[in-house]
């Protein structure tokens, strides 16, 4: 880029004082590419505003030049460059094709039709699922319920009372509880204070609590002993013998 009066004068003043470009950049801490851009009036490589003014003031102060006069020449040279730049021709935004609105309406209709079909099909599947679930529940209610363990032929009354064993777990404080029924996990979670849960099994229960004193256990309405020492974790297994009076 060809230099103007400002760039030529700045370089001439620097060379008259026998100040090299490297010395000037080290003394002013201004990058060499910015100093060269000022001397070549390469405005595209220079920051504007207070940064450009700061560069000119610092160089003028180091070279012993009048700061305000040099700033005036800098502003004038930069303004001339801005006026010389031709404005870009206005680019008109092309109008959308006439068929675009028709396509939008067609896509909207397709989306509505798909939504209607999905809703109707989903409702039918949900209704069928509910009907199947109710039918399965009714079939289970009609089947004889399994007993909690083997009983002798002479203990019919006791076996009837032991059918469908119920384990009630109540918490007086928040604690983590794990329940296994017939070696299958039923619960492993943090229960809050005042929580009561009921569980059923065929053979046995295994109960573990992080705080033994925070858990109250009842088996078929019968209170069970604590799982362990107060404040400590504990584990206990309940089987058929725990249902006996």
DSSP letters along 61-93, please?
A: HHHT--HHHHHHHHHHHHHHHHHHSPPPPPPPP
Within-domain flag for 130: no
R_g of the chain computed on alpha carbons = 45
Within-domain flag for 59: yes
Give the whole-angstrom CA distance, residue 28 versus residue 62. 7
CB 179 within 8 Å of CB 185: yes
pLDDT digits (tens, 9 = 90+) for 21-73: 999 999 999 999 999 989 999 888 888 788 889 999 999 999 999 999 999 99
Within-domain flag for 120: no
CB 229 within 8 Å of CB 185: no
3-state secondary structure of 30: coil
- Is the pLDDT at 147 greater than 60? The verdict is no
The CATH number linked to 56 is 1.10.260.40
* pLDDT more than 70, % of the chain: 80
* Domain's final residue, options 84, 106, 141: 84
Work out the angle between the directed axes of helices 21-28 and 32-40 (0-180°, nearest 10).
120
Within-domain flag for 145: no
DSSP letters along 83-143, please?
A: HHSPPPPPPPPPPPPTHHHHHHHHHHHHHHHHHHHHHHHHHHHHHHHHHHHHHHHHHHHHS
Beta-bridged to residue 154, according to DSSP, are: none
Report pLDDT for 24: 92
Count: domains in the chain: 2
Within-domain flag for 239: yes
* Domain's final residue, options 60, 84, 108: 84
- Is the pLDDT at 189 greater than 90? The verdict is yes
Give residue 90's pLDDT band: very low, low, confident or very high (50, 70, 90): low
- Residue 193, domain extent: 163-243
Return the number of other C-beta atoms located less than 10 Å from residue 191's C-beta.
21
Phi, psi (5° rounding) for residue 192? -75, 170
Within-domain flag for 34: yes
Of 85, 44, 52, 84, the C-alpha closest to 71 is 52
Label residue 181 left, alpha or beta by phi (over 0 means left) and psi (-120 to 50 means alpha). Answer: beta
* Domain's final residue, options 21, 55, 84: 84
Within-domain flag for 137: no
Report pLDDT for 157: 43
């Amino acid at each position: 880029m060809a230099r103007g009066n400002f760039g030529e004068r700045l370089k001439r003043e620097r060379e008259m004082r026998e100040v090299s470009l490297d010395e000037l950049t080290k003394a002013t801490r201004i990058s060499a590419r910015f100093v060269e851009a000022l001397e070549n009036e390469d405005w595209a490589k220079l920051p504007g505003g207070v940064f450009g003014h700061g560069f000119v003031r610092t160089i003028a102060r180091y070279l012993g030049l009048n700061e305000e006069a040099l700033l005036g020449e800098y502003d004038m040279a930069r303004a001339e460059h801005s006026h010389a730049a031709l404005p870009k021709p206005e680019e008109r935004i092309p109008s959308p094709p006439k068929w675009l609105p028709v396509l939008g309406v067609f896509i909207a209709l397709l989306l509505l039709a798909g939504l209607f079909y999905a809703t109707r099909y989903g409702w039918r599947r949900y209704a069928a699922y509910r009907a199947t679930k109710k039918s399965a529940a009714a079939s289970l209610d009609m089947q004889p319920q399994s007993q909690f363990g083997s009983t002798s032929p002479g203990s019919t009354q006791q076996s009837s009372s032991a059918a469908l064993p119920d384990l009630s777990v109540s918490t007086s404080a928040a604690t983590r509880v794990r329940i296994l029924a017939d070696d299958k996990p039923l619960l492993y979670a943090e229960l809050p204070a005042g929580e009561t849960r009921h569980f059923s099994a065929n053979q046995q229960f295994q109960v573990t609590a992080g705080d033994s004193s925070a858990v109250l256990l009842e088996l078929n309405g019968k209170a069970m002993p604590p799982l362990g020492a107060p404040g400590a974790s504990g584990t206990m297994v309940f089987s058929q013998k725990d249902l006996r009076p």
